[in-house]
Structure 1
Amino acid sequence: MSTYKLVCPHCSGRMRIRTSEGAHIFLRIAYLQCVNEACGWSVRAEFTMTHEMSPSGMPNPSVQLPVAPVALRRQAMQSAASDDQPDLLDQLDMEAVNA
């Protein structure tokens, strides 16, 4: 399971999703709150699926999104490579070594 890295623009604290609802197959409405008690900012956000980065192994004919341009796919790969989150396989290897 992945986690979103949502940051409060006011205090740079972590934001949490309090609740969310599906508005459309490609749109999710979320209500966020800053976990910093001194800040407590809350906001409504929209998460939209805009482009297909890679095809599904179980395609649904009703899902029709444009294929992402090469530049966008390249940018996503670079972002994933620079992410400080450890790879799952690396993490399993470390657990095996420490066991």
Structure 2
Amino acid sequence: MSTYKLVCPHCHGRMRIRTSEGKHIFLRIAYLQCQNEACGWTVRAEFEMTHEMSPSGMANPAIKLPVADVAQRRAAMATDTDQPDLLDQLEVEATSI
């Protein structure tokens, strides 16, 4: 299981979620802060569920999202890629400075 790392676009430091609030079952508003004290950038972010990639094994009939098209599902399933993860690369570069 992987965790998503939030990286500050200014100093490439790690960011943390200070607080968040649910606006809708598919939308969460979060307030982020850079943990680099010299930077201290804060930002509002929105995390939204937009498409269903595969059906739930315990489907709730009240939950309705559009099914992702074939191209989106193939892209999500692609495991053999030479492209590095941008956020991981930024974090590596930040630690090597």
The verdict on a shared fold, with TM-score over 0.5 as the criterion, is yes
Once the two structures are TM-superposed, the CA of residue 3 in structure 1 deviates from its matched residue by: 2.4
Query: Per-residue displacement from partner, 1:34-62 (whole Å, max 9, x unpaired)?
Result: 11111010001000000001100111111
Distance in 1 between the 2:10 and 2:57 partners?
41
- Provide the residue aligned with 1:46 in structure 2: 46
- What is the correspondence of 1:14-93 to structure 2 with a 5 Å cutoff? 14-78=14-78
Aligned-residue RMSD, C-alpha: 1.9
**Compared with structure 1, are the counterparts of its residues 7 and 72 closer, same or farther at alpha carbon in structure 2 (3 Å cutoff)?**
same
Larger fraction in helix = 1
Distance in 2 between the 1:18 and 1:2 partners?
21
| Identity percentage of aligned residues | 80
Once the two structures are TM-superposed, the CA of residue 81 in structure 1 deviates from its matched residue by: 5.6
Distance in 1 between the 2:3 and 2:17 partners?
11
Q: TM-score with structure 1 length normalisation?
A: 0.75
Higher RCO (CA-CA < 8 Å; seq separation 6+): 2
Count of aligned positions = 83
Q: TM-score with structure 2 length normalisation?
A: 0.76
**Aligned partner of residue 61 in structure 2, secondary structure:** coil
Distance in 1 between the 2:73 and 2:5 partners?
20
Task: List alignment gaps of at least 5 residues for structure 2.
Answer: 86-97
Distance in 2 between the 1:72 and 1:13 partners?
30
Task: List alignment gaps of at least 5 residues for structure 1.
Answer: 85-99
